[in-house]
Homo-oligomer: A and B are copies of this chain.
Amino acid sequence: MNINAQMVQELRKKTSAGMMDCKKALTATEGDLEKAIVYLRKKGMDAAASKFNRQALNGIVGSYIHLYGKIGVLVEVNCETDFVANTGEFKEFVKDVAMQITASNPKFISREDVPNSIIEKEKEIFYAQVEKSGKPEPIIKKIVEGKLEKYYQTNCLKEQEYIKDNSKNINQLLLELIAILGENIVIKRFARFQLGEEILK
């Protein structure tokens, strides 16, 4: 199998691993991109993955106020050093994320944050909606799974389509920033107040 430069570039973009490591991984996996990513992860050569384990305690608390105060968002994004927190790229990311939250009203940061009780309840509702169709059980299951995926994409910030560029989601935007700035970056928490809404406890 011939490993060309384009394939190496593609793998680099996805993992931020070194050029030679990428070539080695692709050779070992006969050019299979997905397998090459796993190969790099196993070897600990996936720079983005290894950055995930470093502590991110610097950063910025940013805000965005929409329509003269009808909606307000507060968000904390962490990075490792004050230096990165002060870069234009980081500040812009914080602002973009605050705008995303304002516009798209996520309930959670990632799907791991959705409580099991909510997942079960949503599934129950989806089942009841689909069951009436009289379709066979395996197809119903697939449809329910699809609806659950859609639920995550709607309600989890990191899975939402980026409002400024719907070719990627927020997690991809985050990974790009990690690759550019070379530090672990974490969207830690957010609050979104919409004027007059009821407070859920």
A interface residues, Cβ below 8 angstroms from B: 38, 41-44, 53-65, 68-76, 78, 85, 94, 121, 124-125, 128-129, 188-189, 191, 193-200
Contacts and interface: CB of A to CB of B under 8 A. Distances in A.
Given A56-B196, A72-B76, 7 more contacts: A42-B129, A53-B197, A59-B196, A61-B65, A61-B71, A61-B195, A72-B74
B189 A55 contact: no
Given A121-B38, A125-B42, A195 B65 contact: no
A84 to B, nearest CB: 13
A97 to B, nearest CB: 13
Identical chains bound together, number: 2
Chain A to chain B: the 9 pairs with minimum beta-carbon distance, closest first: A61-B72, A57-B196, A60-B69, A191-B191, A63-B63, A42-B128, A74-B74, A53-B198, A61-B193
A59 B193 CA distance: 12
Contacts of A85: 69
A74 B74 CA distance: 6
Contacts of A41: 125
Contacts of A200: 53
B65 A69 contact: no
A148 to B, nearest CB: 15
B54 A60 contact: no
A44 B129 contact: yes
Nearest to A41: B125
Contacts of A78: 195-196
Contacts of A74: 63, 72-74, 191, 193
A63 B55 CA distance: 24
Among A53, A59, A61, A199, the one with the most B-chain Cβ atoms within 10 Å of its Cβ is A61
Contacts of A65: 61-63
Given A65-B61, A74-B72, A55 B196 contact: yes
